[in-house]
Amino acid sequence: MNIHFIKRVKNRFEKIEKQNKRSKEEINELRIKYEDMTERYNELRLEITNRFYELLTDDKYEEEIKKRFFRGNGFTPDLENPKTLNEKIQWLKINNNIPEKATLTDKLAVREWVRDKIGSEYLTKVYGDWGTFDEINMEALPKKFVLKPNHASGMIIIVDDKSKLNIDLAREKVNKWLTTNYAYHGLEMQYKDIVPRIMAEEHLGISGQDFYDCKFWCFNGRVEFIKSLIMVNGKAFEACCYDREWRKTPFQAEGQKVKPDFEKPERLEDMIRLAEELSEGFKLVRVDMYQKGKDEIKFGEMTFTPDNGERRWVPQEYDRILGDLLILE
C-alpha cells in the first residue's frame, strides 16, 4: 500500500462515476476501498510521525515545533518575539507548559476542578471510566451515550442506540485510542502524562431541541471571541465566529462556511461569565460550553493549545490582530 495506489483507486472511481458506465455496486465498492486505504495510509503516516516525536530529546523540541509550523504555514515562526496568535501559541507550548494544564486537559481530572470552581450543576453525567474496552458493562449504560478518551481530542463515538452499536469496530477504535499518546500528534505536551481511560458520558444532542456548542477563546482571562456550532431542530449547522455581543466577527477560520445569522443563545452572558471564571490565571485557554434548549448549560472541556496554533484566519492579517490581544508577559 502506498499513496500512489490510493490515488489510482481514487482516479478510477472518479472516472467510472463521471462516465456512468458501471454499476452502482462497483462504484460503491471502489469508494469503500478508497476510503479504507486512505484511512490506513493516514493511520500509518500518523504512527510514524508520533514515533518520531516520541523519540525527540528536549533540546530538539523547539526546533521540531518550528519545522512543523513551517510545513503548515510556509514560514518559520519567530519564537523570540512572537506577534501572531499562532506564533504565540507555539511560544506557550515551549515556555508555559505548567503542570496545571495537564490536570485540566484530562477530561476526568478537570471535573473536580470545575465542580469546585463553578459548581457540579454544569457537569455532564459520566456513567463510568475504564482502562480497556472490554471492561465496559454495556448493559449498565443507557440507550444513548458518548464514548471518548480522557487524554485526547477529536476522538469520539456517539451512540444514538446502543443496540445498533458495532461492538467489534468500537473495541478496535477504543483500544487504539488507549495506546495512543496524543501529545505526539502535534507536540502538545500537556497531554503527555495523562493516564489513558475510556469514559462513557451523557449524550447531550436531543433531536428537536436547539443546541449551541460554544468555544470561548479566552485571552488572559477574558473571552475575546466565540467559535460556535449550532444545532437547530435536530440539524447541525457550522456557525461562524462571534464577538461577545453575538455579532459576526470580521474574521473567520479558513474553510469555515459562514451560515446565516442565528439567534443569540439565551444564556450567552452566563456562559461568558463561567468561561472567564474557568480561564482565570491562564494566558490562553479555549473553554467549551454547551447550551441545550433554552436554559441548560454544560461544561465541555478546556483546550490550552486550541487548533494546535495551526488555524489559518481569514483575512490573514487577523492572525496578527488576534495576536496583539494575547499578552504573554
Q: Report the predicted TM-score, pTM, of the whole model to 2 decimal places.
A: 0.83
Classify 219 as helix, strand or coil.
strand
CA angle 144, 228, 156 (to 5 degrees): 35
Q: Where are the domains positioned within the chain?
A: 1-55, 98-204, 206-325
> In degrees rounded to 5, what are phi and psi of residue 170?
-65, -40
**What is the rounded distance in angstroms from the CA atom of residue 119 to the CA atom of residue 97?**
26
**What is the rounded distance in angstroms from the CA atom of residue 11 to the CA atom of residue 75?**
32
Classify 124 as helix, strand or coil.
coil
Integer Rg of the chain from CA: 21
**What is the rounded distance in angstroms from the CA atom of residue 260 to the CA atom of residue 275?**
25
Q: Could you tell me where the DSSP H helices lie in 74-202? A: 85-95, 99-105, 109-117, 167-178, 183-186
Tell whether omega for the bond before 306 is within 30 degrees of 0, i.e. cis.
no
pLDDT of residue 256: 74
Closest by CA to 89, choosing from 317, 312, 304, 321, is 304
Q: 184-219: string of b/e by CB count within 10 Å (b at 16+)?
A: bbbbbbbbbebebbbbbbebbbeeeebbbbbbbbbb
107-154 pLDDT per residue, tens: 999 999 999 999 999 999 999 999 999 999 999 999 999 999 999 988
**What is the rounded distance in angstroms from the CA atom of residue 220 to the CA atom of residue 279?**
8
- The cell numbers describing 316, all together, are 490573514
pLDDT of residue 308: 93
pLDDT of residue 173: 93
Return per-residue pLDDT of the chain as tens, 329 residues. Answer: 566 766 777 777 677 666 655 567 777 777 777 777 777 766 676 677 767 677 677 778 889 999 999 988 889 999 999 999 999 999 999 999 888 999 999 999 999 999 999 999 999 999 999 999 999 999 999 999 999 999 998 899 999 999 999 999 999 999 999 998 988 888 899 999 999 999 999 998 755 567 889 999 999 999 999 998 877 666 667 678 999 999 999 998 887 766 667 889 999 999 999 999 999 999 999 999 999 888 899 999 999 999 999 999 999 999 999 999 999 98
